């Protein structure tokens, strides 16, 4: 006799930070004069083409599993029902560390064109501002994968969004993200506003205002970009002049709740964007999660890939990093951090071993020589 089991899809988790009337603990702990009006600074961007509404992504069909009587009952693992690795790597760069990020691919067209024009027109690179290490001096900047520099990271993330808009494939969008159907301001926005791609400085000003008012971290900016590219891949839409603000806002909202221990509530964003309602924020968050198929996991390898690709983007576009010579004190701090990581890895390796520790070998450290 053969048994057939139908596996249904996963359910939704409740949304965090709904429409409460109070302020979140994160914004509530700030004191001082009244908050500045961010609305005028938020709404300075040019935008462009019309939008073609795309259908919602097809629902996943339940998988049918067969169990034979002679082979025992073996439940198929969920990873066996996922798409093949080759297809997954190609279509989901926000899920797999070996897949190339979309924003870096889109930026290469402009980078190659810029280099070609400089070569043809014999343009001199000018004064070299980047400092290079030598045998006697090591130059480091203040941005690391574990503690990125906030200002530089936000600049890189907004530059990635700029290339997404500029080099988009089409104008596929969804109504929930269309700013003409769900405006962020009560003021009348001219149609010309949506007919031009926003410049990088306007995207940076919008995102910087959100991060400054909500006191978000640089790591949150990287996770925001991961969610943005995951949305574009899963929902098969494009970020364009009519929807970029709401897509970015939804990604920032979700990233802040996943990353920060004290997340900003939806009602707090209504204090930053004074004309948006809590109900609109909740609905946009709900759609964002559904389009992500509630996949909000960001592996450490994917996070590191986005960080280093953002550094490559900054290097290609001459975004400045503040370099300083490696001092004795900072070298000692880096060595202490490295030893701490080594000790943690050593403890994890010891826990994975058997009860016998006869072959246990400790890590021998060599002291750094600083002149």
Which residue, chain included where needed, has tokens 């405006």? 183
Residues 6+ apart with CB under 8 A from 6: 62, 63, 64
Whether 155 contacts 204, CB under 8 Å: yes
Strands 323-325 and 139-141: antiparallel
Tens digits of per-residue pLDDT, 334-344? 788 778 777 77
Number of C-beta neighbours around residue 68 at 10 A: 10
Residue count of the chain, please give it.
Answer: 371
Give the Cα separation of 314 and 26 in Å (integer): 31
Number of C-beta neighbours around residue 58 at 10 A: 6
Which residue, chain included where needed, has tokens 């010579």? 325
Beta bridge partners of 173: 53
Number of C-beta neighbours around residue 307 at 10 A: 20
**What's the pLDDT score for residue 140?**
74
Give the Cα separation of 176 and 290 in Å (integer): 12
Q: What are the φ and ψ backbone dihedral angles of 251, each rounded to 5 degrees?
A: -70, -40
What is the separation, in whole angstroms, between the first and last Cα of the chain? 78
Please, which pLDDT band fits residue 330 given cuts at 50, 70 and 90?
Answer: confident
Whether 206 contacts 248, CB under 8 Å: yes
Whether 214 contacts 272, CB under 8 Å: yes
Domain residue extents for the chain:
150-316
Tens digits of per-residue pLDDT, 211-265? 999 999 999 999 999 999 999 999 999 999 999 999 999 999 999 999 887 778 8
**What's the pLDDT score for residue 319?**
80
Q: What is the pTM of this model?
A: 0.67
The predicted model gives 318-326 an average pLDDT of 75
Mean pLDDT, all residues of the chain: 75
The predicted model gives 79-102 an average pLDDT of 67
Whether 306 contacts 226, CB under 8 Å: yes
How many helices (H) and strands (E) are present in the chain, helices listed first?
12, 6
CA atoms 67, 71, 76, 80: torsion sign? negative
CATH 3.30.465.10 fits 150-316, yes or no: no
């Amino acid at each position: 006799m053969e048994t057939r089991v139908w596996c249904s899809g996963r359910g939704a988790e409740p949304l965090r930070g709904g429409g409460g009337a109070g302020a979140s603990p994160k914004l509530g702990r700030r004191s001082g004069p009244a908050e500045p009006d961010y609305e005028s600074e938020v709404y300075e961007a040019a935008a462009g083409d019309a939008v073609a509404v795309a259908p919602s992504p097809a629902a996943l069909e339940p998988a049918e599993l067969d169990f034979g009587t002679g082979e025992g009952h073996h439940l198929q693992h969920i990873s066996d029902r996922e798409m093949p690795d080759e297809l997954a790597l190609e279509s989901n760069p926000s899920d797999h560390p070996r897949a190339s990020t979309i924003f870096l691919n889109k930026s290469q067209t402009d980078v190659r064109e810029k280099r070609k024009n400089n070569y043809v027109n014999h343009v001199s690179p000018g004064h070299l501002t980047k400092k290079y290490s030598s045998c006697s001096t090591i130059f480091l900047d203040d941005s690391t994968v574990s503690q990125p520099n906030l200002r530089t990271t936000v600049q890189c993330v907004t530059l990635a969004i700029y290339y997404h808009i500029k080099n988009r494939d089409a104008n596929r969008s969804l109504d929930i993200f269309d700013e003409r159907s769900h405006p962020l301001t009560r003021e009348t926005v001219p149609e010309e506003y949506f007919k031009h791609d926003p410049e990088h400085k306007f995207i940076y000003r919008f995102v910087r205002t959100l991060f400054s008012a909500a006191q978000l971290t640089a790591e949150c900016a990287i996770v925001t970009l991961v969610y943005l590219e995951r949305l574009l891949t899963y929902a098969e839409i494009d970020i364009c002049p009519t929807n970029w603000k709401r897509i970015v806002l939804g990604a920032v909202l979700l990233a802040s709740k996943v990353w920060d221990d004290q997340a900003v509530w939806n009602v707090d964003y209504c204090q930053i964007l004074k004309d948006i309602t809590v109900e609109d924020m909740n609905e946009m968050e709900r759609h964002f999660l559904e389009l992500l198929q509630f996949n909000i996991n960001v592996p450490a390898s994917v996070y590191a890939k986005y960080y280093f690709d953002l550094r490559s983007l900054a290097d290609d576009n001459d975004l400045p990093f503040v370099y300083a010579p490696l001092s004795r004190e900072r070298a000692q701090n880096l060595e202490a951090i490295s030893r701490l990581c080594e000790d943690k890895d050593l403890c994890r390796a010891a826990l994975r071993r058997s009860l016998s520790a006869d072959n246990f070998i400790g890590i021998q450290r060599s002291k750094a020589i600083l002149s």
